Amino acid sequence: MARKVNPTTRFYEFRPGKHGYARFWITDDGCLTCITDYGNYAYWWGSPGCEFREFLTSCDTDYVANKLGGGRDEFDGEQTVENIKDCILRRRRELRLTRYEARREWEELPGSCFDSSDDFAHWMHRTKLEDAWELSSYCVPHRVQAFMKHVWPLLVAKLKHELASEEAA
């Protein structure tokens, strides 16, 4: 798709929840800009392959979240603990850990999650599990997840309605 010199810009505004706000600017050359209570985001899809509003309505929410949130870079303490527990159980079944070693590792874990990546780092100094660093998990930032849950559906519904109205006319 050739880059447009003066792309058309569309503006949308929503009030999610009682006191929330969200403003969107969409250009027909593939640029999306969002200013919201859930954070400010922007991304440019250089070649969406179809009309950009149509493209946005067809995107998987995880795909958009990764683009807007910069990927999975927020430490996920809860999933990390689950990964460690699965590892302990698997290694115990494979007889790679004794009953005593498995119990010791289990007792070293926090209740349901690590509060931070620092807590995970401290645990790593205490554990005897090989390659323990591989058990850490990262997710799309929670603010982006909230944006995708509370705001994104409003934009997608508006775009679908707008496209349907244009097609009917």
User: 87, 145, 79: which is closest to 117 by C-alpha?
Assistant: 79
Structural domain count of the chain: 2
What tens digit of pLDDT does each residue of 113-141 get? 899 999 999 999 999 999 999 999 998 88
pLDDT at 51 over 80: yes
Looking at the domain assignment, is residue 16 inside a domain? Answer: yes
Q: Are residues 102 and 66 in the same domain?
A: no
The tokens of 21 are what?
């706000």
Q: Are residues 37 and 62 in the same domain?
A: yes
Average pLDDT over residues 46-69: 91
Q: Are residues 63 and 86 in the same domain?
A: no
Q: Are residues 63 and 82 in the same domain?
A: no
Structural domain for 103, as ranges: 74-139
User: 61, 66, 72: which is closest to 137 by C-alpha?
Assistant: 72
Q: Report yes or no: 151 and 39 within 8 Å, Cβ to Cβ.
A: no
Q: Are residues 63 and 16 in the same domain?
A: yes
What tens digit of pLDDT does each residue of 61-102 get? 999 999 998 878 889 999 999 999 999 999 999 999 999 999
What is this structure's pTM? Answer: 0.72
- Residues 49, 47: Cα–Cα separation, whole Å: 5
- Residue 128, judged by CB atoms within 10 A of its CB (0-12, 13-18, 19+), counts as exposed
Residue 3 confidence (pLDDT): 62
Question: Which residues face 14 on adjacent strands?
Answer: 22
pLDDT at 161 over 70: yes
Q: Are residues 93 and 108 in the same domain?
A: yes
Looking at the domain assignment, is residue 118 inside a domain? Answer: yes
pLDDT band at residue 10 under the 50/70/90 scheme: very high
